[in-house]
Amino acid sequence: MIWSLQAAPDLTDKQFDQWSKLLEDRAGICLSDQQRVFLQTQVTMRMRELGHSDYSQYYNRVVDGVSGMMEWSVLIDRLVVKETSFFRHRPSIDFVRDFLQNQINNQSLQESFEVWSVGCSSGEEPYSLSMVINDCFDLAQLDPYYGVTATDISRAALTIARNGIYPQRKVEMMEAHIRQRYFNQQDNGRYLISPELQDRVCYNHANVLNINEMPTIQLDIIFCQNLLIYFRRWLRHEIMNAFVERLKPGGVIIVGLGEVVDWSHPDVTRASNDDVQAYVRNPVGA
């Protein structure tokens, strides 16, 4: 096709505004002017795959009814940053381990331990959380119900997460005992997450902007890292407020360090830990 050999035309200011508004309205993601090239590259690559040569024509296709929603779900996967790794921010994961260990020691565990990994990408984060939770319960020789609900806007990322198969380079960065305990190496050298952990994590497609339409189960941990950073400050605050509504008393929200500023809520108290940004829900009546 001749089009595929031609350089893509530059997005005009108006077109850039139109596409970035769509991305912000639908996913909360706010692009800076420096990300214009990124946006243009991703949109034109997709246009080429479909044989479109005109930004406006493709835009109309994306916003048009049910087929537009299907196309949007392909495009959004190209526009989000899905970078992640196992145990990405070690202090935050250790915070979860200590939090649970304390509950076990104080015998303050409730009948279930519920975790939500928000913006879970390809699964490394929820699996890392399951590993530390599993370790704690194993050590204490307890077998209560626990589950990690993991959500993301990218269906492609969720497919990888559900399959639970990771390349050697991602897994070999972990300590050997974790690798041996929670992965099975396959003939092709890749690693499959153990069925024990797979059974604990439930993946769902969800846009965090629709948080108010999601089931309001009460959670022990809401883990949301490297997601709110793409949102405007007011939106981060609104989502944090909605997270608070979903916490059990004593439950905790853990965000990426510095991702939420100038936010407070009467029902939570910031944990005193310089390496972690965590907010604990106050006990009832406090």
Ligand X SMILES: C[S@@+](CC[C@H](N)C(=O)[O-])C[C@H]1O[C@@H](n2cnc3c(N)ncnc32)[C@H](O)[C@@H]1O
C-beta of 38: minimal distance to ligand X in Å?
14
List the end-to-end C-alpha distance of the chain, in Å, as a whole number: 67
Output the CA torsion 210→82→86→122 (10° steps).
70
Structural contact between residues 9 and 3, judged by C-beta atoms closer than 8 angstroms:
no
C-beta of 119: minimal distance to ligand X in Å?
3
Please identify which residue in 22, 81, 140, 235 interacts with ligand X, judged by CB under 6 A.
Answer: 81
Please identify which residue in 20, 28, 136, 239 interacts with ligand X, judged by CB under 6 A.
Answer: 28
C-beta of 77: minimal distance to ligand X in Å?
7
Spell out the residues 6+ positions from residue 7 whose beta carbon is closer than 8 angstroms to its own. none
Q: How far is it, in rounded angstroms, from Cα 162 to Cα 201?
A: 9
Residue 47 interacting with ligand X (CB under 6 A): no
Residue 152 interacting with ligand X (CB under 6 A): yes
Residue 150 interacting with ligand X (CB under 6 A): no
C-beta of 177: minimal distance to ligand X in Å?
22
Q: How far is it, in rounded angstroms, from Cα 117 to Cα 243?
A: 12
Q: Are strands 219-224 and 191-193 parallel, antiparallel or unpaired?
A: unpaired
In this complex, which beta carbon is closest to ligand X, that of residue 44 or of residue 92? 92
Residue 83 interacting with ligand X (CB under 6 A): yes
- Identify the H or E element spanning 96: helix 90-105
Q: How far is it, in rounded angstroms, from Cα 196 to Cα 191?
A: 14
Residue 221 interacting with ligand X (CB under 6 A): no
Q: How far is it, in rounded angstroms, from Cα 192 to Cα 230?
A: 31
Copy the structure tokens of residue 247.
């916490």
Residue 121 interacting with ligand X (CB under 6 A): yes
Residue 27 interacting with ligand X (CB under 6 A): yes
Residue 119 interacting with ligand X (CB under 6 A): yes
C-beta of 117: minimal distance to ligand X in Å?
7
In this complex, which beta carbon is closest to ligand X, that of residue 44 or of residue 84? 84
Instruction: List contacts with ligand X (CB under 6 A).
Output: 27-29, 80-84, 88, 119-121, 125, 152-154, 157, 207-209, 225-227
